[in-house]
Amino acid sequence: MISSLQLHLSKIFLKIFLRNRQAILFSLFFPLIFIGAFSFSGSEPQPFLIGVEDKSNSPFSSEFIENLEKEDLFTLINGDFENLKLSLEEGEIDGFIVIPENFEEIENLDALKFYVDASQARQASIIKQAIDRSLVSIERNIRNMSPLFSVELEDVKSRNQRYIDFLLPGLLAFMIMNLSIAGSGFNIVEYRRRGILKRLFVTPIKPRDFMIGIVLARMAIVLVQLSVVLSIALLLLDINIIGSYISFYCAVILGTLIFLCIGFALGSLAKTQEGIRPVVGLVTFPQVILSGVFFPISSMPELVQPIIYSLPLSSVVSSLREIANDGASLFSFSASTIGLVIWVMIAFFISIRFFVWKEVAR
Amino acid sequence: MNILEVRGLEKSYPDPESDKNLKAVDGISFILEEVQIYGILGPNGAGKTTTLEMIEGLTDIDKGYAAVNGINVADNPYAVKEIIGVQLQSNEYFDSLSLKELLVLFGKLYQNNVDPKDLLNKVDLLEKINSKPEELSGGQKQRFSIACALVNEPKVLFLDEPTTGLDPQAKHNLWELIKELNLSGMTIILTTHNMEEAENLCHKVAIMDKGRILIEGNPKDLIHKYDQEHGNLENVFLSLTGKELRD
């Protein structure tokens, strides 16, 4: 159980943190900038800009254009061939359609020409499908037919998955890692440099008490900071957390424990403030790139995926994402939540192994 | 009973310049009777601080034996820490905590509920109770670090160069404090390279150089024996340790 000394120590560490306004603001700065950027840019995909040159100017061609305008996918711009070609080349529009003069003459109609930038093949096929749809419906009108088949889209997951929904759990995991490693690792190095650990060592304090004091205080700090960022994201970006908040916060607590312990080990390994920065960078930077904070791990080369999945940040990111995006429970013991628990044990072990009071305090 | 006993203490460090080990402390023995002030004198690098740190349990003892109040330091460092008070050369504390908060914290480390006012009154810092250590002057800082060392009402107080860097007023003020503590029944062991301090305060001094005790005794006896001409401890010190510069 937690002793009164450990509680007193954690209160002291909290006090120290709360009196350092600069550190508080700074730790919220990065995630809030991210969220701010997303809330202003809007994360919905932009509609395609399509140019149209209507050479026929007939009821048919206006009906065709009207049909196209109904598509959410497009925004239409009128213009003539030369101008539209120039805009396409400069990347201002995504493609343009030329409606031939004889659009009405169904019998010997020239092909409708759709000009695209060949490097944008994916968009081109989407646009072409929409044009086809529009043409089919015009044809039906002309021939007085009603559609034989109809398709209604029904989202199986019945929810919108935007990039920000995917990104947020990654960002929070990233935040947990940074705050935790800084909270234990950087503080230890600083306290040692100033001889504070040495002063503590000559009292009967046990290293366990010191570590638990820091862990409790930092845990509270991380939880509050994370909640601030999360609630701002919920309010501004209309994020959906599908799973239970209990699962979500349990995963957060386990993740914080992992990185606090890793921080203790790193802080014990690096002897100086100059020394700890590269060491921490070496541990955190590859994980930020690899562990699926910004894009899914499944987009990585298949050969290295198993290694990436076994990184500590990956287990935190995947667990949070499963809970937030897929509504999983932490207690369903998926691969990532088991990974999370295994990492807590590994991190605990290495922190005990490296955080030797006598060595660290000197 | 001797409150402090040290026999044949040795400590080596790897020498960065050669492959060999450097002997920082090379076979030191002394005993300290209760309610004495004992001074370890020596030039920089003589091994004074290492000696204290071994007795405090901060540094492992390579060879030899150290006991405080009959408790072997190597066997039971925590029991020793309970009954000693330590003032280190560097005296920095956690940021943004007041003297009061720091004293309460130090008390808790010994499971003691201390009265910060009483402690600060002892070291004449009562009016600074809500100040931060970084707002104190050099002499006040030293007095505060002594207050921190008193939270567990120690049997032996360790002071490592307590007056280094202080102006004469602050120095004399601190000497008075050390004398008062001694008069109230505390055994004190201190290191210094200030001869005046040793002459003024200590019942017994050991002059140390290159990891060894060269001579030990009552300051007056030492002066009588080694420097009848000038009559001060500084000449005893210089004649024993030589006049070349130390780093």
CA distances A81 to A110, A135, A257, Å, are 17, 21, 63
Contact A15 B95 (CB under 8 A): no
Q: Which domains does chain B have, with CATH numbers?
A: 4-241 (3.40.50.300)
pLDDT for A41: 60
Residues A12-67: pLDDT tens digits?
999 998 888 887 787 777 777 877 777 666 545 567 788 888 887 787 778 778 87
Q: How far apart are the first and last CA of chain A?
A: 29
Contact B93 A362 (CB under 8 A): no
pLDDT for A342: 95
For residue A278, give its domain range. 4-41+162-361
pLDDT for B120: 95
Does A217 fall in a domain? Answer: yes
Chain B hits for A194, CB-CB cut-off 8 Å, are 90, 92
Q: Are B246 and B232 in contact (CB under 8 A)?
A: no
pLDDT for B109: 94
Number of domains chain A is built from: 2
Q: Do A37 and A54 belong together in one domain?
A: no
Does A245 fall in a domain? Answer: yes
Residues of B at the A interface, defined by Cβ within 8 angstroms: 56-60, 78, 81-82, 84, 86, 88, 90-97, 101, 105-106, 108-111, 148, 152
pLDDT for B64: 94
What are the average pLDDT values for consecutive 10-residue runs of chain B, which has 247 residues?
91 82 90 93 90 92 94 94 93 90 95 93 92 92 94 95 89 93 95 88 92 90 80 80 72
**Is the pLDDT at A106 greater than 70, yes or no?**
no
Q: Do A123 and A189 belong together in one domain?
A: no
pLDDT for A22: 81
Q: Do A30 and A117 belong together in one domain?
A: no
Contact A358 B82 (CB under 8 A): no
pLDDT for A123: 65
**Is the pLDDT at A151 greater than 70, yes or no?**
no
Q: Are A211 and A183 in contact (CB under 8 A)?
A: no
- Per-residue pLDDT band for A121 (boundaries 50, 70, 90) equals low
Dist CA A270 CA A274 (whole Å): 8
Dist CA B120 CA B103 (whole Å): 9
Does A156 fall in a domain? Answer: no
Q: Do A263 and A345 belong together in one domain?
A: yes
Tokens found for residue B150: 């008193």
Residue of chain B with shortest Cα separation from A197: B93
pLDDT for A298: 82
Beta strand extents in B78-203 (DSSP E only): 84-87, 156-160, 187-192
Best to test chain A binding among B99, B105, B132 (most A CBs inside 10 Å): B105
Handedness of CA B94, B96, B102, B104 (dihedral sign): negative
Does A332 fall in a domain? Answer: yes
Average pLDDT across chain A, whole number: 83
Q: Do A24 and A171 belong together in one domain?
A: yes
Q: Do A186 and A306 belong together in one domain?
A: yes
Residues of A at the B interface, defined by Cβ within 8 angstroms: 4-5, 8-9, 12, 15-16, 19-20, 191, 194-196, 198-205, 358, 361-362
Mean pLDDT of A105-133: 72
Dist CA B68 CA B71 (whole Å): 5
Q: Do A8 and A66 belong together in one domain?
A: no
**Number of Cβ pairs < 8 A linking chain A and chain B:** 68
Secondary structure letter of residue A272 according to DSSP = S
pLDDT for A11: 94
Q: Do A131 and A166 belong together in one domain?
A: no
Chain A hits for B152, CB-CB cut-off 8 Å, are 203
pLDDT for B82: 95
Does A78 fall in a domain? Answer: yes
Contact B93 A20 (CB under 8 A): no
Does A150 fall in a domain? Answer: no
Dist CA A136 CA A306 (whole Å): 48
Residue A53: beta bridge partners? A98
Handedness of CA A174, A178, A181, A184 (dihedral sign): negative
User: What is the value of ipTM here, to two decimals?
Assistant: 0.90
**Looking up tokens 């020793």, which residue turns up?**
B80
Neighbour order of strands in the sheet with A48-54: A74-78, A48-54, A95-99, A113-116
Three-state DSSP class for residue A287: helix
Residues A187-205: pLDDT tens digits?
899 898 888 999 999 999 9
Does A94 fall in a domain? Answer: yes
Q: Do A347 and A308 belong together in one domain?
A: yes
Does A154 fall in a domain? Answer: no
Higher pLDDT, B115 or A326: B115
Q: What share of chain B is helix, strand, coil (3-state, %, to 5)?
A: 35, 25, 35
Count CB atoms within 10 A of the CB of residue A282: 10
Q: Are B35 and B184 in contact (CB under 8 A)?
A: no
Which CATH number characterizes residue A118's domain?
Answer: 3.40.1710.10
Dist CA A286 CA A308 (whole Å): 10
Residue B205: beta bridge partners? B39, B217
Contact A15 B101 (CB under 8 A): yes
Chain A hits for B91, CB-CB cut-off 8 Å, are 195, 199
pLDDT for A95: 82
Q: Do A119 and A187 belong together in one domain?
A: no
φ, ψ (nearest 5 deg) of residue A185: -60, -55
Pairing mode of beta strands B21-32, B4-14: antiparallel
- The per-type count for chain A, helices as H runs and strands as E runs, is 15, 4
Q: Do A105 and A167 belong together in one domain?
A: no
Mean pLDDT of A79-101: 83
Q: Do A35 and A120 belong together in one domain?
A: no
Q: Which residue in B81, B92, B96 is closest to A203 by CB distance?
A: B81
Q: Are B109 and A203 in contact (CB under 8 A)?
A: yes
Q: For A113, how many CA atoms within 13 A lie in the half-sphere containing its CB?
A: 12
Residue of chain B with shortest Cα separation from A362: B58
Q: Which residue in B57, B84, B95 is closest to A16 by CB distance?
A: B95
Among A143, A172, A192, identify where a domain stops: A143
Min Cα–Cα distance to chain B from A209, Å: 9
Q: Which residue in A4, A12, A198 is closest to B105 by CB distance?
A: A12
Count CB atoms within 10 A of the CB of residue B202: 24
Contact B92 A201 (CB under 8 A): no
Contact B58 A198 (CB under 8 A): yes
